[in-house]
Amino acid sequence: MPHNHDALLNHIKADMPSDELLQDLGDLFKVFGDTTRIKIMYALYEDEMCVCAIADLLKMTQSAISHQLKVLKAANLVASRREGKTIYYRLADEHVKSIIGQGYEHITE
């Protein structure tokens, strides 16, 4: 007969966050899981930048950057402010840096 692990499972289940939260967690990391967005976040590491500067930096279309900034903003990873025609984006909080920092450590160790 297949081996049984009901006792273990009941214990683990009790400590697992809700499915909804786990889904949200996955969705959050999905946002980090794209090179373009990682580059954008790195570009904003030290200071805010306008959309066209980011596009220049990454040698990508303004449209492509704008789409990705929307994704980042929806995940509360960046924030923006308007100054005339220009819109400046910046990292939203310190979690962005610490998440990227931990990932960096994992890779380079």
Partner DNA sequence: TCAACATATGAACAATTGCTCATATGTTCA
Partner DNA sequence: TGAACATATGAGCAATTGTTCATATGTTGA
Q: Taking a C-beta distance cutoff of 8 angstroms, is the pair 91, 97 a contact?
A: yes
Least Å distance, CB 81 to a copy of itself, is 16
Least Å distance, CB 34 to DNA, is 4
For residue 59, state whether it binds a copy of itself (rule: CB under 8 A). no
Residues in touch with DNA (CB under 7 A): 1-3, 30, 33-37, 50-52, 60-64, 66-71, 80, 82, 84-88
Q: CA separation (Å) from 100 to 2, 28, 29, 62, 87?
A: 42, 13, 11, 24, 24
Question: What does the per-residue mask of binding to a copy of itself show for 82-101, with x meaning CB under 8 A?
Answer: ----x------x-x--xxx-
88 Cβ neighbours under 8 A, 6+ residues apart = 48, 49, 50, 80, 81, 82
Near a copy of itself by CB under 8 A: residue from 18, 34, 65, 90 = 34
For residue 71, state whether it binds a copy of itself (rule: CB under 8 A). no
- Distance in angstroms (rounded) separating the CA atoms of residues 48 and 41: 10
